[in-house]
């Protein structure tokens, strides 16, 4: 394999490994938010922000942990026939099906980018540069800004797209009998 592809795979793997290890600890943040929610309800003064914050933390945990799970091959898969095949045959299957995944992730990233632009109030005026309008807020009583979680979602989709490309390159290397 060309050195730039090997370097790309190693860079993406290292980056997603770090992000995934960080995302694992978001579970503790989620537990802290839910504990605070329970304790504040017991104290008679429920916090209005806890439910939505728990949802945001869970989304970040799930979205940012996806590329790490793909890298570690820990996604759930239906492997009635897949597990019994040779590594080269599995690489052929993975190399073929990755195109559907890349298309899906591309569409999701495109939608996340548009949603992020909307939440930032980006509007295309007469010039080439967008102007920032009113920032989108949640309609709940807490009313947090939505752009941070939408930025996390876009980042997660891009990282997953890059990890799928790295997996495709690894599959090509396996088919060629090389190791990355």
Three-class secondary structure assignment of 5-37: HHHHHHHHHHHHHHHHHHHHCHHHHHHHHHHHH
Query: How much is the pLDDT for 131?
Result: 67
The pTM (predicted TM-score) of the whole model is: 0.89
Whether the per-residue pLDDT at 16 is higher than 70: the answer is yes
Percent of the chain with pLDDT over 70: 95
Domains of the chain, residue spans: 3-77+84-175
Q: Is the pLDDT assigned to residue 129 strictly greater than 90? A: no
What pLDDT is stored for residue 124 in this prediction? 65
């Amino acid at each position: 394999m060309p050195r730039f592809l090997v370097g790309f795979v190693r860079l993406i793997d290292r980056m997603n490994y770090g992000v995934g290890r960080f995302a694992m600890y978001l579970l503790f943040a989620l537990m802290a938010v839910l504990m605070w929610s329970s304790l504040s309800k017991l104290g008679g003064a429920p916090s209005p922000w806890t439910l939505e914050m728990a949802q945001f933390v869970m989304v970040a945990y799930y979205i940012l942990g996806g590329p790490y799970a793909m890298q570690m091959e820990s996604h759930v898969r239906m492997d009635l026939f897949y597990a019994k095949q040779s590594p080269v045959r599995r690489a052929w299957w993975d190399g073929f099906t990755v195109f559907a995944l890349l298309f899906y992730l591309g569409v999701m990233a495109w939608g996340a980018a548009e949603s992020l632009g909307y939440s930032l109030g980006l509007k295309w005026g007469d010039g080439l540069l967008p102007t920032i309008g009113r920032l989108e807020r949640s309609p709940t009583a807490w009313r947090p800004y939505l752009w941070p979680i939408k930025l996390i979602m876009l980042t997660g989709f891009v990282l997953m797209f890059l990890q799928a490309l790295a997996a495709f390159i690894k599959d090509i290397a396996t088919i060629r009998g090389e190791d990355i």
